[in-house]
Chain A
Amino acid sequence: MVLKNNQRTLVFLLSSIGLITFPHFWHIPLSIITFFYALLLWRFIGIWKSHWLPHKIIVLLIMLGGIALLLNHFRSFLGRDAGTSLFVIALALKLLEIKKDRDLYLICYLAFIVASSQFLFGQSMLMALYILLVCCALFTSLIIINSQQSKPVVAIKKSATILAQALPMTLVLFFLFPRIQTPDWVFLNDTNTNAITGLSDTLDPGSITSLALSPELAFRVKFENNNIPPPRQRYWRGPVYSYTDGKRWTESQQYINPSYMDTPKYKGKAYKYTLLLEPQIKNWIYTLDMPAQFSSGLYKNPRHQLLTQKQSNNRREYQLVSYPHYNTGYITKAEFRENTQLPYPASQKIITFIKQLKGFNSSPEDFIKTLLDYFRTEDFYYTLKPPLMKQKPIETFLFENRRGFCSHYATTFVYLMRVAHIPARVIGGYQGGEFNSIGKFLEVRQADAHAWAEVWLENKGWTRVDPTAAVAPERIERGVDINKQIAQGLVNFMSINNSNAYSWFKKSHQLLQSLDYNWQRWVIHYDTGNQANFLSSLGIKNLKIMLYWMMGLIGFITLCLTIYLFKNNDTSIDKASFYYQKFCKKLAKVGLQRQPNEGANDFYTRISQRFPTQKHQFKVITALYNQQRYGKQPTKKVLQQLQKTVNQFKIKVNIK
């Protein structure tokens, strides 16, 4: 049996289901999406041509087809992608079999599951808004099922109102509902395509250049008390490249026993901050040089780099403390060996060059200074498009081209140090970051990727030296102007005066970024740890108090809502009835009861026959009541008049 008068319901329901599944176009195999939309279209046509709908046996065949499709793609029903596809296929099949209202409900419920599965693929603010709208459409369908007569506009309004009223309670539940850390179950680990590449584990001179044109976000940092380090201290330390084959630099695979190492001493001002790291392929964490304290789940390797214990495909948040001034202490033999490694003996040309700069005779500090001065005074250029240096890159760069990007300067510098027997290594990471004045956080993008050097010095330990700063100090002081750099493909730094032509553009951009940051922090990234932090900052210390608060707030919201909903009901029209009832009660006392099927006018005729002397009073009250209840515009004035006349009204029984 096909439901009658149900076309509108079906049109609404099917359209909202089409909308709900739409974003899966980008997530699940095209064949499954095509399968879904084909069946949806079929069902849509079936609304008007019900004899076109498939027979039971054909539905069974289609179902087998769907299962085959699923198995062909995933070979299982578990996991995010397979599970989502399963629900999409189930929804499509159920569409072909709508017989009762119950089926419509089942379809709605399946659609809610599909809507929820959208979030497993992306959690942007836009997606959340989209799903909220689609949920509103689904609830509207439910309303239309339950009131065939109501107009769609009324139903949409009703469902939107209920959703809006549900929001405060949703937020309370969201922030106070106890979160339990999910165990990382193996079978659910799908590969995440959203992870960004970032720095690679080999550093060849071109590797950072490609990043310099990427506006992609790397991470965001919020400093406690807005205590932000000056630009020249904003070095975000990442991988340590200490092994070289003469052309490329990679992380060393050697084992260094941390128990032989000195413990670093930290001095000066501490920076406490929260790092919100975009999904990464590597388990590297970028920290302000040099991290001292870090949240659990992280560890520090002997090269002072922070790493996550488990690789995570999600955006993660970390609490960190860094000190820009530190002393790592003595160097172990293994470290020394690792950081003076050279692939082959240096060429005569290099040795002569170092000798010229008195590299072998003077102290390391002096040599570093002379070398940096050399970079500064000679005609070295900082450029995004250096000429290719395939053979002997260091010599070519140093003696012939003299054009290079930060990686060229860093690798060359470290190489020269090592030839001069000074332990040195290349550090990869990011430098700078744009301060978002609206959200008060620092935004670091891929274009901020940078490479610099670390040199081990007596009494100072590992010391950061940035040869790029000698060639292009603006890079360090002002940072990269990413938009311009991308537009022109050339190195571009932030201009000094901020009042440039597109500052409003910048402002709105910052506003969006700030919104997104807070969205990430408060919604996407709100987990067990954050919940504990956030709630304890509000004075909620343990689970029991948390539950009390949750119950209390929900109770409070319910109370407010109840008052709001039922106060609204008490309109002046209602009051007109109230006063009229009062009038009727007065008459009932003398035996004149208004019958339920008796209109106000009929009642008036009857009572005026009985009490002709008060006919006028009856007339006034009846007219006022009719005007207020059935008139075009009930007004306060009429109501007050009615109230007054009713209150003054008395039956003069003695006249009988």
Chain B
Amino acid sequence: MKQLKLFLKKLFKRHYLDKKSVTLNHKRIYILPTQRGLNFALLVALLLVISFVYNNNLAYLLSFLLASVFFITILHTFKSLAGLIISVSKAHSAYVSEDVVVDIYLDNPSILERFNLTLNLNNTKTIDLPATQKRLVTLNSPTLKRGWHYCEPITLACQYPFGLFKAWSVLHFEVKALVYPKPSTENNPFPELAGEQAQQGNITKGHSDFYGLRDYQEGDSIRDIHWKSMAKGQGLHSKDYRGDLLTELWLDYSQTFGYDSEQRLSQLCRWLIDADNSGLQYGFILVGLTLQPSSGSCHFKKCLTALALF
């Protein structure tokens, strides 16, 4: 069975990728009877035998009716998928061993209501889609490694109306997401600062004293936005702090410890998250890359990306 599955996978494997949005048509939809469908065929055969033995024409008629329904179900099952537009919107970044969340839009442009659409990646989601509606479906893809993560093909399947046939389509979207190193679970203190005797917990925050308001710049932390002025309709402003910069926090790869680079990256990642959570200003040093101290989500993302692609 497993071998058969592998063989089928190979058979249906495509050597090119789909565009961002795919309309399902006869080229994309496969149909095969399900186990229940095969049992139904057996049922029809049994009814035919009964009709034959008793030479009963109405029993024949019933068998033929069921056989015809079985046959026509192929068309209806196909129709339950045909015309759907499936598009991949975004794959959200994740840390290693977390799942990458993929946003998928299912669009039903027809006036036909669709039932029991099953989307499958690592998890399976089943939705009904009313006529002319678009729905967001999130699927998960598990991660093992740091770096670019390419998702497996997505399968959209449907057994409506009778469950006798299964129509499905395999979608080879190019879905990639950055996977950051897994943050270390060890709670190591921030690296000691060169020349200073700063201890864990003794680091003064870079912005303890409120200095004034300035125009919002991309990369400013959401925390620092002055919401009151925003509510007054004066536009976005950030609160500016000018504390005494007692210390400059530098998160440096060379200061991490561990058996191998992955463990060290993992440590660095932990520090990054901690620093971002506590709203510190931090500089970032990786081999061949130095980012000047700053804060905010943009800076944070930049650092994580560097970690992921290291």
- Residues of A512-534 contacting chain B, CB below 8 A: 523-527
Binding site for B on A (CB under 8 A): 80, 101-102, 105, 109, 112-113, 115-117, 119-120, 123, 127-128, 131-132, 135, 139, 142-143, 145-147, 149-150, 154, 158-159, 162-163, 165-167, 169-170, 173-174, 177, 180-182, 185, 188, 314, 523-527, 554, 558, 561-562, 565-566, 569, 571, 573-574, 577, 595-597, 629-630
Contact of B116 among A102, A123, A147, A577 (CB under 8 A): A147
- Digitize B49-91: 1 where CB-to-A-CB distance is under 8 Å, 0 elsewhere: 0111111111111111111110111011001001100011110
Given A80-B54, A597-B90, A597-B136, A574:B110 Cβ within 8 A: yes
Sorted nearest first, the 6 A-B pairs with minimum C-beta distance are A147-B115, A166-B68, A596-B87, A119-B58, A169-B68, A173-B64
Judged by a CB distance under 8 angstroms, whether B159 is at the interface is: yes
Contacts of A573 in B (CB 8 A): 109-111, 131-132
**Contact indicator B47/A112 (Cβ below 8 Å):** yes
- Asked if B163 lies at the interface with its beta carbon under 8 angstroms from chain A, I say yes
A116 in contact with B113 (CB, 8 Å): no
Residues of B within 8 A of A (CB): 20-21, 36, 39-40, 43, 46-47, 50-69, 71-73, 75-76, 79, 82-83, 87-90, 103, 105, 109-113, 115-116, 128, 131-132, 136, 159-163
Distance of A132 Cα from B110 Cα, bound (Å): 31
- By the criterion CB–CB under 8 Å, are A596 and B54 in contact? no
The answer to whether B161 and A143 have CB atoms under 8 Å apart is yes
CB of B162 to closest CB in A, whole Å: 5
Closest to A169 in B: B68
> Once the chains are docked, how many angstroms separate the CA of A173 from the CA of B65?
9
Q: How many A-B residue pairs have CB under 8 A?
A: 169
Contact of B83 among A113, A180, A569, A596 (CB under 8 A): A569
Q: Are B59 and A116 in contact (CB under 8 A)?
A: yes
B56 touching A119 by the CB < 8 A rule? yes
A188 touching B53 in the complex, CB below 8 Å, given contacts A116-B63, A146-B163: yes
> If the complex has contacts A143-B161, A170-B65, are A597 and B89 also in contact, measured as CB distance less than 8 A?
yes
B58–A524 contact, CB under 8 A?
A: yes
Q: In the complex, A180→B64 CA distance in Å? A: 15
Do residues B115 and A113 form an inter-chain contact, with CB atoms below 8 A?
no
Contact pick for A149, options B20, B21, B36, B128, CB 8 Å: B128
Give the nearest-CB partner of A158 in chain B: B161
- Asked if A524 contacts B57 (CB within 8 A), the reply is yes
Expressed in whole angstroms, the Cα–Cα distance for A285 and B159 within the complex equals 55
Question: Is A595 in contact with B89, judged by CB distance below 8 angstroms?
Answer: yes
For residue A8, give the distance in angstroms from its CB to the closest CB of chain B: 14
Once A109-B43, A166-B65 are accepted as A-B contacts, the answer to whether A562 and B103 lie under 8 Å apart by CB is no
For the complex, what is the distance from the CA of A322 to the CA of B168, rounded to whole Å?
Answer: 64
- The residue that A146 contacts in the complex, of B20, B54, B89, B116, with Cβ under 8 A, is B116
A residues near B110, Cβ cutoff 8 Å:
569, 571, 573-574
User: Nearest-CB distance from B69 to chain A (Å)?
Assistant: 5
Taking a contact as CB atoms under 8 Å apart, the answer to whether A143 and B59 are in contact is no
Q: How far is it, in angstroms, between the C-alpha of A588 and the C-alpha of B232 when the chains are bound? A: 38
A116 to B113, CA, bound (A): 33
Rounded to whole angstroms, the CA-CA distance of A158 and B113 in the bound complex is 11
Asked if residues B62 and A131 are in contact (CB atoms below 8 Å), the reply is: yes
Asked whether A182 and B103 contact (CB < 8 A) given A173-B68, A571-B111, A596-B87, the answer is: no
Q: State which of B21, B65, B113 has its C-beta within 8 Å of the C-beta of A135.
A: B65
Contact A561 B103 (CB under 8 A): no
Q: Is A146 touching B160 in the complex (CB atoms < 8 A)?
A: yes
CA distance A147 to B162 in the complex (A): 9
- In this complex, the member of B65, B83, B88, B110 whose beta carbon has the largest number of chain A beta carbons within 10 angstroms is B65
- Closest residue of chain A to B88 (Cβ to Cβ) is A596
Chain A residues, Cβ within 8 Å of B39: 105, 109
4 new A-B pairs (CB below 8 Å) besides A150-B115, A162-B76? A109-B40, A527-B55, A569-B110, A630-B132
- The chain B residue with its CB closest to the CB of A141 is B162
Contact B58 A523 (CB under 8 A): yes
Question: Closest Cβ of chain B: how far from A184's Cβ, in Å?
Answer: 9
- In the bound assembly, the distance between CA atoms of A561 and B64 in angstroms comes to 17
Known A182-B54, A574-B83, A595-B89; contact A146-B159, beta-carbon cutoff 8 A: yes
15 contacts between A and B (CB under 8 A): A101-B163, A109-B39, A112-B62, A115-B62, A135-B66, A143-B161, A147-B115, A166-B68, A169-B68, A173-B67, A182-B52, A188-B53, A524-B58, A569-B110, A571-B111
